[in-house]
Amino acid sequence: MTPPPKNKKAAKTPTVEQQIRRRTLSSFSVFFFSLTIGGLLFYKLYNQPQSADNVQPVLRKGLNANERIFSRLFSQKRNARSFKKKDAVAHVRVNGGVGMDGTLDTATWRLRIARKPGDTLQLTLSELMALPKTEVVFDFKCVEGWSQVTWWGGVRFSDFMAKYGLTPQMAARYVGMETPDGDYYVGNDMPSMLQPQTLLCYEMNGKPLPQDQGAPLRLIIPVKYGIKHLKRIGVIFFSSERPKDYWAEQGYDYYAGL
Ligand SMILES: Nc1nc2c(c(=O)[nH]1)N[C@H]1C(S)=C(S)[C@@H](COP(=O)(O)O)O[C@H]1N2
Ligand SMILES: [Mo]
């Protein structure tokens, strides 16, 4: 049996003109309604008192939430995976030679630590080597896409800070580093610098650090990509603002975390 044709409904179907009129009307209502709500919201945001750092409170709330999430993530996977010394490659790739012109004379070299403006501590390599030595074997990752398991030795940055009474400086948000000629420079956040695998490094594969790998002293910071592991450290300073950063200036992520 075929059902009877639905004549009633067909009769009620509006004409094409009516349909168009209705749709136009409802589109306009939605448009004006959205415009009003948007306007009201904008007015409300615009007239909100600004916070101390000049950021709208709603935005500030979002930023604070981001920071909480990321710092929690950071503390969870704080340690870079470590490997055994036998897993480390014998021939470590050399990459990047900015700020490394000529041969550096370790005997006359000094690590300069700008404690405060006009107060710079100068240390020899022997003084640094007198501090407790820590070794780390980890997967060194470069943003160019290669990685290799490498073995490094030196003094933990956190040990160095404690031994030299740099506890007030630990309150700074950032640590800046530069090569002696100032041609290569990086900034790292203090939590990553104080992470227990971060080294002021003077040894590789159990031997003195080679020239092209940053002798006499380089940074090893396993929670970051290679760009942050400054070779041939000349100066270290502390700052509440992001220190200038060679690769960040070229558009790479400033944090460069792993
Ligand atoms: N002074 C200086 N340090 C530097 C660089 C550089 O060009 N100059 N390149 C960085 C980059 S991109 C990487 S991947 C690592 C490479 O370290 P390696 O040569 O010991 O493998 O050093 C980092 N430190
Ligand atoms: Mo790199």
Q: 131 near 164, Cβ under 8 Å?
A: no
Is the beta carbon of 231 within 6 A of some atom in ligand 1?
A: yes
Is the beta carbon of 120 within 6 A of some atom in ligand 1?
A: no
pLDDT for res 21: 76
pLDDT for res 29: 74
pLDDT for res 76: 43
Is the beta carbon of 187 within 6 A of some atom in ligand 1?
A: no
Closest by CA to 217, choosing from 186, 254, 245, 179, is 179
Instruction: Dump pLDDT digits (tens) for 183-211.
Output: 999 999 999 999 999 999 999 999 999 99
Is the beta carbon of 234 within 6 A of some atom in ligand 1?
A: no
Mutate to test the pocket of ligand 1, among 229, 250, 252 (most ligand atoms within 8 A of CB): 229
Q: Which two tokens mark 129? A: 């080597």
Ligand nearest to the CA of 201: 1
Render 198-214 in DSSP notation, one character per residue: -EEEEEETTEEPPGGGT
Q: Which two tokens mark 115? A: 């404690």
Q: What is the pTM of this model?
A: 0.75
Instruction: Dump pLDDT digits (tens) for 58-69.
Output: 766 666 666 566
Q: What is the pLDDT along the chain (258 residues), one digit of tens a residue?
A: 455 555 544 556 777 777 777 777 777 677 666 776 666 776 666 666 555 555 667 766 666 666 566 665 655 457 999 999 999 999 999 999 999 999 999 999 999 999 999 999 999 999 999 999 999 999 999 999 999 999 999 999 999 999 999 999 999 999 999 999 999 999 999 999 999 999 999 999 999 999 999 999 999 999 999 999 999 999 999 999 999 999 999 999 999 999
Those residues with Cβ within 8 angstroms of residue 186's Cβ, 6 or more apart along the chain or in another chain: 176, 177, 219, 227, 228, 230, 243, 245, 246, 247
Residue nearest to atom 13 of ligand 1 (CA): 226
Of the options 1.10.3720.10, 3.30.70.360, 3.90.1150.10, 3.90.420.10, the CATH number for the domain spanning 57-250: 3.90.420.10
Sign of the alpha-carbon dihedral angle for 197, 82, 234, 203? positive
Mutate to test the pocket of ligand 1, among 138, 231, 236 (most ligand atoms within 8 A of CB): 231
Is the beta carbon of 235 within 6 A of some atom in ligand 1?
A: no
Ligand nearest to the CA of 93: 1
Residue nearest to atom 21 of ligand 1 (CA): 94
Ligand nearest to the CA of 92: 1
Give the chain's largest Cα–Cα span.
Answer: 105
Ligand nearest to the CA of 97: 1
Q: Distance, CA 229 to ligand 1 centroid (Å)?
A: 6
Spell 243-258 as b/e; 16+ CB within 10 A means b.
bebbbbeeeeebbbbe
Q: Where are the domains of the chain?
A: 8-46, 57-250
Ligand 1 atom nearest the C-alpha of 213 is: 20
pLDDT for res 143: 96
pLDDT for res 37: 66
Q: Distance, CA 144 to ligand 1 centroid (Å)?
A: 12
pLDDT for res 81: 95
